[in-house]
Amino acid sequence: MTVTPNRSDLPARRRRHARLIAALTELIGACAEAARAVYWPLATAPPGQDAVTVDLMPLKKLSRSAPLLLDHARGEDRARWPTAVAREQEAAARTDAARHVVARAQDFLKGPPGPPGAVPLPTAEHAAAAELISAGDEVAASWRRDPEQAVALVRELAAAGELSVDEILDAAVESTMLTGLVALNDAPDAPDPSAAAERCVRATPYLALAVTLASVDLD
């Protein structure tokens, strides 16, 4: 007999993802410091001074270290909550199986594969994975516009049983973090130090949104 775990037995999301949340807030502060290393010398230079020396090294170090910091934090969270992780994996297996059933049914309705040389259609496995990624992207974008509508969207996406609420929120966290990390990664390649600092600062709203999505409990 399969027993569905009581949500009250699981840690709140802000505790389950506490190390990740702490790492995200650390990155937000590091972004501010890296940008300050560029902006402050410009702000304090005499008005008539043409050349101003700024320090891009903090920004370059941050762009390289940020992904590793977040990966390490996620690993620590998993190690801290093994029971919760096991239940998440069980739930993910159920919803993944449900998505595979739907994807295979859709494949059947599409009919046989096309002629030789035609671009192959996504497999059921790819479609099932893509559905979760797409849901995360959609919720992350919606949350930036209107959190209340995003909550309703999460519940709507989870209603069919092919995705769980936590899966969707976690996918939204991943989507948002990735956007922030891309901005950080691109910052050192900016044409000038000010543009690099701007790209670094531009990452912070996404990192802050990831904190929100990692903290929110909807069940």
User: Does residue 2 lie in a domain region?
Assistant: no
Higher-confidence position of 131 and 209: 209
pLDDT for residue 160: 82
Q: Count of domains in the chain?
A: 1
Domain presence at residue 141: yes
For residues 122 and 169, give the distance between their C-alpha atoms in angstroms, rounded to a whole number: 24
Share of the chain above pLDDT 90, in %: 64
pLDDT tens track for 131-141: 888 999 999 99
pTM equals: 0.82
Measured CA angle at 178 (ends 56, 170), to 5 deg: 140
1 found inside a domain: no
Local structure of residue 53 (DSSP, 8 states): -
- In this predicted model, what pLDDT tens digit does every residue of 184-204 receive, in sequence order? 999 999 999 999 999 999 999
Q: Report whether pLDDT(167) > 50.
A: yes
Residue 61 has pLDDT above 80, yes or no: yes
Assigned domain for 201 exists: yes
Residue 117 has pLDDT above 60, yes or no: no
Q: Would you say residue 131 lies in a domain? A: yes
Does residue 165 lie within any of the structural domains? yes
**Is 60 part of any domain?**
yes
Domain span at 24: 13-43+54-110+123-215
Mean pLDDT of 147-160: 94
CA dihedral of residues 129, 134, 137, 141 (deg, nearest 10): -160
The rounded distance, in Å, linking the Cα atoms of 143 and 152 is: 10
Provide the percentage of residues in the chain whose pLDDT is more than 70: 80
- Give the 3-state secondary structure of residue 161: coil
Residue 132: predicted pLDDT: 85
Examine residue 6 and state whether it is found in any structural domain, yes or no. Answer: no
Question: Helix (H) and strand (E) counts for the chain?
Answer: 8, 0
pLDDT given for residue 109 in this prediction: 47
Decide if pLDDT at 17 tops 90.
yes
Q: Are 99 and 132 in contact (CB under 8 A)?
A: yes
Are 161 and 98 within 8 A, CB to CB?
yes
- What pLDDT, on a 0 to 100 scale, did the predictor assign at position 95? 75
Across the range 104-112, mean pLDDT stands at: 49
* Burial class of residue 208 in the structure, from the number of CB atoms within 10 Å of its CB (0-12 exposed, 13-18 middle, 19+ buried): middle
Paired tokens of 15: 């505790």
